[in-house]
Amino acid sequence: MEKRILGLDPGLAILGFGAITCTQSSTKVQHTTVNMLDFGIIRTSADAEMGQRLCTLFDDLHALIEELQPDLVAIEKLFFYRMSSTILVAQARGVLILVLGQRRLPYVEFTPAQIKQALTGYGNADKSEVQEAVARELDLDKIPKPDDAADALAVALTASYQM
């Protein structure tokens, strides 16, 4: 049985995405194989007005979901560190949740600490440790770039561990 998981790292300027497939063996011993399907970013221009940027996210997310056909979406929960950027991310996140609702796609959310714990065994791991874990878990020769895409793959992997 194969399941596609789309991980999303929400942002207004850059929204990272990473898609994986999880295949469970049908033998008596439960074994799950995880493979990377795709990763990248959706970028909006800082020069565009806010409404246009949100429309870009809306349209590009619909196209991405149409292309990847995920069974589950995993989202990094909003992390509060600077009020101005938190509001922008919250607006982008609202568009993301709207698209998922329109598509009737189930989703799960994880805090940054939950993602770090799942991938490294340590909830306060630094970004490089998480990125190395992503490359290792997906048997990649190098860490996916940009960082937003690697973060999205980390979110998708975290969801796969919950299966």
Single-letter code of the amino acid located at 41? I
In the three-class reduction of DSSP (H, G, I as helix; E, B as strand; rest coil), residue 38 is classed as strand
Strands 14-24 and 2-9: antiparallel
Minimum mean pLDDT range among 72-81, 91-100, 131-140, 153-162: 72-81
Q: Report DSSP letters for 79-132, one per residue.
A: --S-HHHHHHHHHHHHHHHHHHHHHT--EEEE-HHHHHHHHHS-TT--HHHHHH
Looking at residue 107, its pLDDT comes to 97
Looking at residue 118, its pLDDT comes to 95
What residues are paired with 41 via a beta bridge? 16
Measured in degrees and rounded to the nearest 5, phi and psi for residue 94 equal: -60, -40
Catalytic residues: 9, 76, 148
Tell me the whole-structure pTM to 2 decimals.
0.93
Measured in degrees and rounded to the nearest 5, phi and psi for residue 16 equal: -85, 145
- Contact, 24 vs 31, CB < 8 A? yes
pLDDT of residue 81 exceeding 60: no
CA-closest candidate to residue 153, choices 115, 122, 106, 100:
115
What residues are paired with 28 via a beta bridge? none
3-49 pLDDT, tens digit each: 999 999 999 999 999 999 999 877 655 678 999 999 999 999 999 99
In the three-class reduction of DSSP (H, G, I as helix; E, B as strand; rest coil), residue 86 is classed as helix
- Contact, 148 vs 155, CB < 8 A? no
Instruction: Determine the Cα–Cα distance for residues 61 and 159; give it in Å rounded to an integer.
Output: 19
Show the CA angle centred on residue 98, arms to residues 90 and 2, nearest 5°. Answer: 110
State the average pLDDT over residues 111-115: 94
- Contact, 149 vs 100, CB < 8 A? no
119-160 pLDDT, tens digit each: 999 989 999 999 999 999 999 999 999 999 999 999 999 999
